[in-house]
Structure 1
Amino acid sequence: MRVLKASEYRSMPWKNGGGVTTEITVSPAGAGLDDFDWRISMARVESGGPFSQFAGIDRTLAVLEGEGIVLDLAGRPSATVTKTSAPFAFPADVSTEAALIAGPITDLNVMTRRGRMTHTVQRLHISDPLEIRAGAENTLILSLDGGITISGGLPTHLGALDTLLLGPDDADVLIKPAHDTTLFVIRINGLASGISANH
């Protein structure tokens, strides 16, 4: 069990150079934008325009701050993603244009390499203690607002945008919020060789 502090996240240019992304964590450690197995990041989107494309990558996007964004994927219906909608999963190698609903947003991006890894992303609004099961190869809990105490071993505190990383052998944890809060629970698993992801 490890806490990733928001103050220690790494910032870098978007792949297409159109903005800045804040990398929460990546695997393998130190991987670049073209050779990761999985990557979790945040980005401030100031204006509409094309999304960076990532060959062979599946992507899920959720809105952390702002009114939301409309995604227009080539050959697919447009999708509206807001702070209250479910995280939106789509292939990152399909041409995608974005339009802001009303001003800038901050988004959460989870990306895994197709055929090698799979992922799920849940948005949870909680006001009472909640047990979260580990068991995935990687389970990550991002606290949007902070004020979270984690019970499971030594007590651990999460501030705003801090992330708890659990491995497959870690025990389940009890999340205790100091106030109404939003969590994102990300589960990442590997695939057996030769088995492709179904999204």
Structure 2
Amino acid sequence: MTIRPTLRLQRFADHRLMPWKNGKGETREVASSEDAASGLLWRLSLATVSGSGSFSAFPGIDRTIAVMAGDGMVLTVGGESQPPLTTDTEPFAFSGDAEVTAESLGGETTDLNLMTRRGVWHHRLTRRRLTRRPLAAPLTLEVQASTAALVFSGAAQVSVNDAAFTGAFGDVLLGLTQGDRITLTEAKSEGYLFIAEFAPVAEGWAR
């Protein structure tokens, strides 16, 4: 079978590594897009947080964060403390304009970040649990947005339109697009599959 050239599995070690200025973490940029008129349009990244501290401000950006591994954190957004973010909680959306601080709940935490330019692009971040128990039926998802990525927080084998890919923690399947069918064929460890979908607002995609 011929795999669409834009569809590729990017390994965790191949993400672009960018240490934080405050020394309390590092970001691995998976992919991003920008233009001269608006600047950053969207960015997908993984961050490793080693302690409490402040988030950088991103004016005009909508953000969603999800904990992939570690003890998690408590965010204070615009002066309001939020419920703890852990591997057991759903992705959390907030404005990049807000003043945000994070209180570590223990050791190192790895989180997934999805950002889009407000009013220009929008996004949705969802997840599906991986379990090593036999599946009663295949788990199949259909991509709804024009651009999407599949992020692994556990080891699993998936197929996209019958092309097979095996990912491990932090690997990302890029190049997904509207209408692609993702089927989980085997979970090799516990964890989650995160589906990051994003599209220009002008396309009229209903999140």
Matched, 1:155 2:161: no
Q: 2:74 aligns with which of 59, 70, 74?
A: 70
Which residue of the partner structure matches residue 144 of structure 2? 135
1:98-137 → structure 2 map (5 Å cutoff): 98-127=102-131, 128=135, 129-137=138-146
Partner of 2:27 in structure 1? 21
Match of 2:91 among 64, 67, 87: 87
Tell me how far apart the structure 2 counterparts of residues 190 and 15 of structure 1 sit (CA, whole Å): 31
Percent pairwise identity: 32
Provide the rounded CA distance (Å) in 1 between the counterparts of 2:23 and 2:121.
26
Deviations 1:36-74 (A, max 9, x none): 211111111111011111111111111111111000112
Q: Check 1:166–1:135 CA distance in 2 against 1; reply closer, same or farther (3 A cut).
A: farther
| Secondary structure of the corresponding residue to residue 51 of structure 2 | coil
What's the Cα RMSD here? Answer: 2.6
Aligned with residue 5 of structure 1, among 11, 22, 28: 11
Normalising to structure 1: TM-score of the pair? 0.85
Unaligned runs of 5+ in 2: 1-6
Corresponding residue for 1:183?
Answer: 193
List structure 1 segments (4+ residues) > 6 angstroms apart after TM superposition: none
For structure 1, list consecutive stretches of 5 or more residues without a partner in the other structure. none
Q: Could you tell me the TM-score, scaled by structure 2's length?
A: 0.82
Change (3 A) 1:97 1:38: same
Greater displacement, 96-105 / 146-155: 146-155
2: CA distance, partners of 1:143 / 1:67 = 18
SS in 2 for 1:7: helix
Deviations 1:96-123 (A, max 9, x none): 1110112221111111111111111112
CA contact (8 A) 2:121 2:198 kept: yes
Cα distance in 1 for partners of 2:156, 2:68 equals 17
Alpha-carbon distance, 1:155 to partner: 2.0
Q: What residue identity is the alignment partner of 2:177?
A: P
- The 3-state SS of whatever aligns with 1:85 is coil
Q: Deviations over 1:76-112 (max 9, x none)?
A: 3433211100111000121011101122211111111
For residues 143-170 of structure 1, what are the alpha-carbon distances to aligned partners after superposition, in whole Å with 9 as ceiling and x for unaligned? 1112323242432222332112244355
Partner of 2:48: 44
Paired residue secondary structure (1:192): helix
Give the number of aligned pairs: 192
8 Å Cα contact 1:16-1:52 kept in structure 2: no
